[in-house]
Amino acid sequence: MSGAPTRAGDGLDATQPLGSATQPVDLSEITAVTPAVVVAQAHVPPAHVQPAHVPPAQVPPGHVPPAHVSPAQVPPGHVPPAHLPPAHAQPAPGVTQPVESRIGSTQRMAAVTGRVPVAAYARLAKPDVVDHHLGVLLVWALLSPDLRLDGHVLATTAVFLLGQVSVLAATGALDDLTGFRDGRDATGHGPGSAKRVREPLVTGALTEPQVVRFALATGVVGTALWGAAILMAPHRPFWVVALIALTCFSSFRRSWGAKFSHRGFREFRTASLGWALVLAPYGLAVGSVDGFALVQALLFGMGPLLFAVYSGTAEGDRSAGRPTSAAQATPPGSALFVMSLTTAEMALMVIAPIVGAPWWFLAAMTPTFCLRVAQLRIGFGRGDVPRARTLGVRTHRLTTAVLLVIDLAVR
């Protein structure tokens, strides 16, 4: 044996750090991580190492005790040999390090322990984002009293809702995957972001293949449930079937494949999703849509639109090539665009009594008027876009609640 200092890991190719330059490892294939201790069966330790007090039962076969060396001869920073008992052994290099310190920006590994990361999948599905799902309550309130408790109608609406939850979960997963790959999520959800924990790809809780499989599974389930709702519905007008098919296709392709979100008119598609999620189940239950129901569907779709346009990720959208209004327009231009959308929502409220709403409808919607004005002042007057966005979410939910009360009073 030469007199040159020898590292404990020399000659053990299997213990090279994960993702090293000399031996890249595909981290997506790793399904469990445990502290690993490499045991050399016939390894002769270097002569300069202080002998360890190892019980005879723990000495590997063929082990040759090293010559005694005084502590002064031990090189600084020396790592004990791998055959020491577990209480004194060191984990294999690169295996038990913190996840984010050893995984690159283009590949993530789920910090799993052999079990399905249910919590990470739940964060990916974002079940707390209920704003589009509130539409089913509006649909129920729009029905006539005899249909609100009709078993056939209720079953159809319930199946449609389950399909809606699955389709939107798949849509959100694909959107997260695209945002992770183009760097937009890393920009908008950096280490100091409070919402970083909601992005399992950014934190490394899920891998890209896991997200793809989740999106595929939920997408298939959602499509099947929407198909079942059509087959079991009391009414199946062509326009409803076409609307459901178009909504399903465009949702999956929003950030995947055709990437409609990268082709402009993103704001229109945000609103149209809300419109479809009211008009489609209502059409399946009733077969047609009256003027007041149409106005309420349009108002419902404007809700998510009027908090989505208050974007705090304009820089990320711009760098990723997503032509959102916030990314393309100047601050004054963006303010003018949002003001025009707010005015359009108010115009819908004004014309509602003409198409069947009660004469006092406009007075009932006064809270929405006031909150929209406050949202504009906070977002563009004070420059507090995140707070304006939060107020927009609350305004949408309040508006939906007011519409429910009005429908239950007059339908």
What pLDDT sits at residue 1?
41
CA terminus-to-terminus distance, the chain: 93
Structure-block tokens of residue 188 = 């908008």
What pLDDT sits at residue 202?
79
* Mean pLDDT (whole number) for 205-214: 90
DSSP H or E stretch at residue 272:
helix 266-286
**Is residue 105 over pLDDT 70?**
no
**Is residue 99 over pLDDT 60?**
no
Structure-block tokens of residue 96 = 């038990």
* Mean pLDDT (whole number) for 369-387: 93
* Mean pLDDT (whole number) for 17-35: 39
**Is residue 147 over pLDDT 80?**
yes
**Is residue 411 over pLDDT 90?**
no
Contact 9, 89 (CB under 8 A): no
In terms of Cα–Cα distance, which of 377, 365, 169, 392 is closest to 302? Answer: 392
**Is residue 299 over pLDDT 90?**
yes
| 117-120, Cβ contacts within 8 angstroms, sequence gap of 24 or more | 117/200, 117/205, 117/206, 117/210, 119/205, 120/200, 120/205, 120/206
Q: Strand, coil or helix: what is 245?
A: helix
* Mean pLDDT (whole number) for 95-102: 38
Of 6-10, 57-61, 187-191, 279-283, the range with the lowest mean pLDDT is: 6-10
Give the model confidence (pLDDT) of 225-278 as tens digits: 999 999 999 999 999 999 999 999 988 877 666 666 556 567 788 899 999 999
What pLDDT sits at residue 97?
38
Question: b or e along 185-220 (b: 16 or more beta carbons within 10 Å of the residue's beta carbon)?
Answer: bbbbbeeebeeeebbbbbbbbbbeebbeebbeebbe
What pLDDT sits at residue 47?
46
Backbone angles phi, psi at 32, to 5 degrees: -150, 145
Q: To the nearest whole number, what is the mean pLDDT of the chain?
A: 75
Give the count of beta carbons closer than 10 Å to the beta carbon of residue 19: 16
Give the model confidence (pLDDT) of 31-90 as tens digits: 333 333 333 343 444 444 444 444 444 545 555 555 444 444 545 555 555 444 444 444
For residue 95, the cross-strand partners are none
Structure-block tokens of residue 296 = 């309420």
- Given the structure tokens 């079940």, which residue do they identify? 127
* Mean pLDDT (whole number) for 323-344: 81
What pLDDT sits at residue 188?
58
What is the rounded distance in angstroms from the CA atom of residue 194 to the CA atom of residue 190? 9
| Those residues with Cβ within 8 angstroms of residue 286's Cβ, 6 or more apart along the chain or in another chain | 143, 147, 235
For residue 113, the cross-strand partners are 32
* Mean pLDDT (whole number) for 162-173: 94
**Is residue 345 over pLDDT 90?**
yes
* Mean pLDDT (whole number) for 290-299: 96
**Is residue 111 over pLDDT 70?**
no
- Given the structure tokens 């789920």, which residue do they identify? 110
Give the pLDDT band of residue 134 (cuts 50, 70, 90): very high
Of 18-32, 206-220, 228-242, 324-338, the range with the lowest mean pLDDT is: 18-32
Bigger pLDDT: 180 vs 185:
180
Give the count of beta carbons closer than 10 Å to the beta carbon of residue 326: 23
Contact 169, 222 (CB under 8 A): yes
What pLDDT sits at residue 129?
84
Give the count of beta carbons closer than 10 Å to the beta carbon of residue 37: 17
Break the chain down into helix, strand, coil percent, rounded to 5.
60, 0, 40
What pLDDT sits at residue 308?
85
